[in-house]
Every structure is written in C-alpha cells, then in structure tokens.
Amino acid sequence: MNRREVFAGTLAGGAALALAGTAAHAAPRAGMASPVWVTATDGTRLYVRSWGSGAPILFLSGWALSSEMWAYQMAALSERGFRCIAFDRRGHGRSDDPGQGYDYATLGGDVDAVLTALDVSGATVVAHSMSGGEILSYLERQGATARVARVLFLATTLPCLTAKPDNPAGVPAAAFDRMRQQFYTDFPQWIETNSDPFVVPETSPLMRQWIKNIMLGTSLRAVIDLNRAMTAADFRGGLGALTLPTLFIHGDRDASAPLALTAEPASKLPKQAKLIVYEGAPHGLFVTHIARLNADIEAFARP
C-alpha cells in the first residue's frame, strides 16, 4: 500500500474513532440552555444549541460528528461573554435524516437557515474539517453578508483533496472510492482500524468513548454522501474570493487531513489569512488541545 493509499484510509474529514454503545438523547437538564429547531428550505428540521450571550460564534461540526463535539469550547466560551451556537447537520445527532441534501450547496443553505432564524449578525464561524466547505458555500450563496464577520478553519480538508492535473499532490479518486466500499460493508470496523491517529495517546478512554457515542447519531447515508462530496470538492476558487479575516489552525500530526495537502496551501489563498500550526496535534485537536484552542478562538472572535 503506497503513501496515498494510507492517507485515503485515514482521511474521512473528521472523526476516526470506533463506534460503540448507543447514546441516549436525553432532555436538557435544569439550568442548561434549551435547544431549538430550525426548519431548512426542504422541510428538514435542524437541532440547534445556543448557549450564552454576547458576540456570536457559530461552530460547524466535522464529518460524522454532531454539535455535541463542541461541548468543551461552548461551555468555556459561553462563560467568557460569547453566544455560542452549534447545530446538528442533517442526518446527524437529533436533526432529521431526510436521506438527501448532502451536497455542499444544500448544506450551505442549512447554515443560512440557522443564521437567519436566530437573527445572527457579526458571527465568528469556527468550521472543523469538512465543514469549511459549508461556510464557503454559504458565503458563495449569500455574497457579502453582515451575518458572518470572520472565519476560522480548524483542521480543514480544504482546498482540494483529489488529485487533478493542476493538483498533483492530491489523492487519486479511485483510492477514495475503495475506501467508501468499506463503509457499505462494515463502517464500524473501518472506523476502528483508523481510530488512533484522531487523538493522542494521553486522551482518556472515557473521552474516546464520548466521541464514539456522538458518532452513533450519524446515518450511514450521510456518512457516505458527505465523504463523497468532501473528497470531490474543489474550493480553491472560493478561498481565493474570501475577503473576511481568516484564520487556519491545524495540527502537524493530522493524519485525516495532512497539513501539506490542506491548511498550508489553503491558507495562501484568502486575501487576509493566517496559519497557526499546533505541534503534535491530530485531527481531533478540539479535545486534545482544549485550553490552547479555546484561547485562540477567543482572541480571534473578540470584536
């Protein structure tokens, strides 16, 4: 197996952790912010969390992960004077599973539906992994908008994963096709095989289990279609047109979205962008580097 095949085996744009045990969808406990549902243009209901008040931060989740992945960012930053918002992508968590709409144009429309329903303006968007394409799709769809003020791409899969004549460093499309064939037969085993690089050795078994449980809310239809959309996407043009203040944060041990293929070239495209590299950080740096990441998000999001 060559280097590109190994990369394709670990890249799914997000959570590479084993599935285990079904997570119950309990009602919010007393004292917690109550969730709301936003209806997308095709009738799909999206489950939304909104904690705190102040300058808004919209968190967009990675592949196969729901809004719950942002618990350690939202809990801390909602106490630091921010309104922290996150929603379950269609087919994830508590949102509806319509069996369709897993293309970036529809997903960008879902972002628009949430921002509009909550009347958000001046938001900092933090987009993990494949969701960078969602916010770019939203911005391409809406053009200049007062709802988004700046964008932070975290462990991004942008700008273009698949090899092309003008993108020779990418992965051959056939390698992604072979990877997806495993999803059809035993997705949990594929996740198990590719789980360790997502976190660090010091990550506790309970934290790993917590992430595993989150993944159980994702439908296989969403898993397959989103992986196909993510690996085929080419957002070099969208990034080149981005004029908002932009920050990329990426780990130099990200096996799911290697730095040299993603954040390094992506960060050179927007008009005003900065790249921060976390030494030793994997794709799941939202749980492995909580304190540092929260501080960097806060510094970037302060109006």
Catalytically annotated residues: 129, 254, 283
Partnered with residue 56 across adjacent β-strands are: 83
CA dihedral 252, 6, 198, 203 (to 10 degrees): -90
DSSP string, the chain: --HHHHHHHH-SSB------SPPP-PPPPTTSPPPEEEE-TTS-EEEEEEES-SEEEEEE--BT--GGGGHHHHHHHTTTTEEEEEEPPTTSTTS---S---SHHHHHHHHHHHHHHTT--SEEEEEEGGGHHHHHHHHHHH-S-TTEEEEEEES---SB-B-BTTBTTSB-HHHHHHHHHHHHHHHHHHHHHT-GGGS-TTS-HHHHHHHHHHHTTS-HHHHHHHHHHHHH-B-HHHHHT--S-EEEEEETT-SSS-TTTTHHHHTTSSSSEEEEEETT--TTHHHHSHHHHHHHHHHHH--
Structural tokens at position 255:
């096996």
**Parallel/antiparallel/unpaired status of strands 36-39 and 45-51:** antiparallel
